Structure 1
Amino acid sequence: MATLSAVRRAAVLLLCSCSLTSPARAHAIHTTHSTVTADAQGYTLTVRAFADDLSASVARFNGRTPPADSSVRVPELVAYAMARVGIASAAGVQVVLQSCGVKRMQDTYVLCFRVATNPRTATLKLGNQMLVELHSDQVNIVQCDVAGSQRTHLFTRGRAPTIIVDRGVCAAS
């Protein structure tokens, strides 16, 4: 009977040998990762996305050819994000997103948005359709971390906006 460490070594060798025969790709998974947090002044939405995908979508959104260096024009990036990520009240009234910055961190962009509202009483409904026009298997992960509660929501192409914060805590999917 093989020991657990011998089985692990065999599995690692198998995975390494498989990866040597497959073609190189930038990334095989199509995701964005967002977090929603709260402070006394409102909510912060932080979105992380692969630079190549985001640059391509922003360029196409603005009728341009995607740049080879995955660069973006920040005003165009913010406009694209605001068109694809919607936050509304429980009644469906759109909430104003205010950009609080964009950073390029190697192969990703990090976008920051603020929602000025009372986080103890506001109910937020969020929809995230970033990059779904680029990849049919796009998954946008949104993690809520508010008032000691935590929930994760997954948004795919066509998923309707859903309540993510209800009465000051993260809502279930």
Structure 2
Amino acid sequence: MMVLLLLGRLDYEQLTGLEQTDGRRREGRFLARLERFPGLFRQGMDMQEVQGLLLDSFGKVLHVEPAPNGGETSWEFIIGHLQNDHPVVISVRNESCGHWMVAVGVEFDDRQKVVRILALDSSAAASGICPWNAFIEARQKSKSQYSFNWHSDGTSCSVQIEDVVAIW
């Protein structure tokens, strides 16, 4: 939903039901297809479901490109798309949880190396300071399968980047 809001394909009134959505239009078809999933997405969605939902409804006006695989390759894929102003949906996972969020920017160090991917996290409170509320950073010289740190809502944990899809 956040990506569709960012790209101007849906608006707040359509998502909250304050405005009637025409089922013959892309937005209406998307919302109708979304309702077919179990309530609260208790089992989550996988990348194929996300892609299918978007392409079925918005395939003629949106580009959807999955990353080839996880880890360091995904890090470069994410950065490349963000530098082209494409939001990127990221799935992170560790031994106790999995979570999706939307990457919207990058932070550079003084040598112009990307040190953080900035994200919108629906599970975290909105930040009153900046337009993102979470970030992911690579752990230095990590040999663990969880080679990234995810910081959100005042907590941090080690994660792996599992699935990534750029949408524009």
Structure number with the higher strand fraction is: 1
Q: Assess same fold via TM > 0.5.
A: no
Larger Rg: 1
Structure number with the higher helix fraction is: 2
Q: TM-score range by the shorter chain?
A: under 0.3
TM-score between both structures, scaled by the size of structure 1: 0.23
TM-score between both structures, scaled by the size of structure 2: 0.24
